[in-house]
Each structure stands twice: as C-alpha cells, then as structure tokens.
Structure 1
Amino acid sequence: MKNKSYIGISFIILIFGIWSVPKIITKFKKSDLHLIGKVPAFELTDQNNKKISDKDYLGKVYVVEFFFSTCPTICPKMNENMLLLQDEFYGNPKFGIASITINPEHDTSEVLKKHAEELGVKHYNWHMLTGDKTYIFDLAKKGFNMYAGENKNVSGGFEHSGMFALVDKEGNIRCRKDAFENPILYYDGLEEEGVQAIKEDIKKLLEE
C-alpha cells in the first residue's frame, strides 16, 4: 500500500514538474526585439557633477537621446516625450534615461541641474550628461550613428537627431522591426507613434 502511495505521489510531482518547465522557459525567454550591437562605451558627467558611464546602466533598460538645453526647435517636444517615459516607468529602478548634450560648453553640470529641475526630472536614473564637445560628437556620430553638429545658420546653432536609442540590461542596442521585417534601428522621439512603440518595447526588455 505504501509503495502504491509513493508511486502515485511521484507521478503527480513528475507531471507538475513537466507542466511547470514551459512556464519557466517562457519567463526567461528573450523578446523578439532585434539586436543591433553593443552600446558604445562612454563616460560623462551628470547634472549632479557625478561621473556616469555605460557600465552604470548595466542591469537597466534605458533610453539615449542627444539634445541641448537652449534648443528652440525639436528638443522641447523630445523633452515632453521623455517625460512621458519617466512617468510611465517612474519608481522602477531597472529603468533609466541618458540625455547627452551636444552643447557642453554652455551645458555645464550646473546648467543641466537647473534645466532638469525646470523640466521636472525626478527619476534617479535620468542623467543629463555633459563632457568634451569633440568626444560627444564622436559618440553621437561614430558611436550611435546619430547625427549631431554645429550649424550657425540654424536656430540655436546646432543640429541633431530627434531619435531615441533603446538599450537593454546587457548593454545592447535593441529595436523592433517594421512591416517588412527590417530593423527600425531607432525610435522617433517626436511622434506619438514612436513614443508608444518605445514604451511597449521597454516593457518587453524589462521582462527579459
């Protein structure tokens, strides 16, 4: 009788174990987002005069943008949309933002701190970063392949991409694919569609 009970219990445990395996596999499965490559290494100074590097973001899903505090054109809209991302993931320690100025000669840590306060930056993993101008331009154009440059003939004196880069917990740049299965590379930081898409994909990466 004892042997029959033991066999019965063992059978139940075995079936339960088999049934549980797919759930465990699903939980740790990578999302369908395309892997572009490693985020370029960087080290800059944030609004609190603290050195921040790409390594400080490891273990976090984060968004990267290039901007400048006196930008009169696309930056206000990018700021508005980045604030939406802050609100969506506020309080989540696994989420972060890296806002890198392309006018570091003006945008010192002190200037960026005031700018952050005026914008309503509250998330402790949102770093507004400054440093050497040549270093930052190389990081934008050669590291991320996102345009940034000076142009005295345009309003504000600088031009830059309005796109957001999405980086996973392991430091990989990731993105979704379009209707033709082509990687979009970066997300439109100016349009509602792009912001909604990056929100959805941040959630996917947070679950990985």
Structure 2
Amino acid sequence: MCVDVVTVPDPESVRYRTHLDLATTSTAHHAALVQRLLELGATPADIGQGDVPWTVMADPEGNVFCVLEPREVYRDTGPIATVVVNCEDPRAMAAFWGEATDWTVHEVTDEHARLRSAAGVGPYLELLRVPGPITVQSRIHLDLLPSPGDDQGAEVERLRGLGATDLDVGQGDVPWACLRDVEGNDFCVLRPH
C-alpha cells in the first residue's frame, strides 16, 4: 500500500469518514511512537472517544489518525494497521469493497467489517458503522490500481456494475477516474502501468 499526500486548497475543518490507524508492537513502542509523532508536529485530538486504550491524534493540518495499542491482529501489517471507513451498513460496504478489490472479508457484523488482501499482507480495510449518511467530502480516499495489462475503462464499468457511481470534483481531463462507492465515499481508479 502506498500513501500519497497531495496539496488541497481547503484546511481540514470537518469530521471526515476515513482515517488511518497506526500499529504498535508493545506498550513501549506505543509510547515512543506517540512521542515521535508529537515531536513531528502531531497534537492530541479529542473526537469524543472517551477513555480508550489507543491514542487519537491530528497531524499538523488537522487530519485525525489513531495510534493503536498493541493488537495481535495487526502484528504483521506494517506501520499502518488499517484504513478505517465509517459507514451506515458495514455488510453492504464489505460486499462492495470485497468485490471491488478482491480482498478477503475476515469479519462482518452489523457494526463492523474487516477486509485484507487475499495475499494476507499489508493493512486491513475496516468498515465501522456510524449513524447517518455522508454529509461532507472526505480528504482521505482510496485509489484502486488495476492489474498490469487490465483496461481502466473495463474496470470502471465493472465497478459501476457493483454499484459505484461517477463523481465530478472538477478534476477535468486526468488519467484516473473518480467514482463513489455504494455509500457515497470518493475513490479513484488509476490507469494501470
């Protein structure tokens, strides 16, 4: 998984529906990572989480992320444990994203779903139930990269068949396609290499 950071004209000022959770391997690692992030300009964040075993932080531009306490499920994910997407219906979202990415659904309930690459490597995609529909655009989104030799247009059509819809964010003539998933979360389909 790659993380791209791009410039956007607007500051983070809304509660968005997607964030990253960082993995730790021990209590000492958790403390050291939080300290390092503070030194890099992150700040503690209160999003109403209450008393939880993980640390909620914001990067220098206000993007919220979490530093998780050590959890066995994330021991082999690398530094990013999971990409978390809030949604109304984790079951429907797991069905869409499982088909869209060909990732394995490891757990699905009415409250939560967890998917991961069929190869069993990298971070998880977690879908957490929260009430209410999307009311704001998120600054964090997924980009899908078709396999080498696949046709981008055919992949976009396949995703539309799964329930994705076209999205115009003023992107103009770009080499990627902008879509929304079944709950309106933005994502892009890149051109295969």
Return the TM-score normalized by structure 2. Answer: 0.33
Q: Which has the higher strand share?
A: 2
* Greater helix proportion: 1
Bigger relative CO (Cα 8 Å, ≥ 6 apart): 1
Larger Rg, first or second structure (1 or 2): 1
- TM-score, length basis structure 1: 0.31
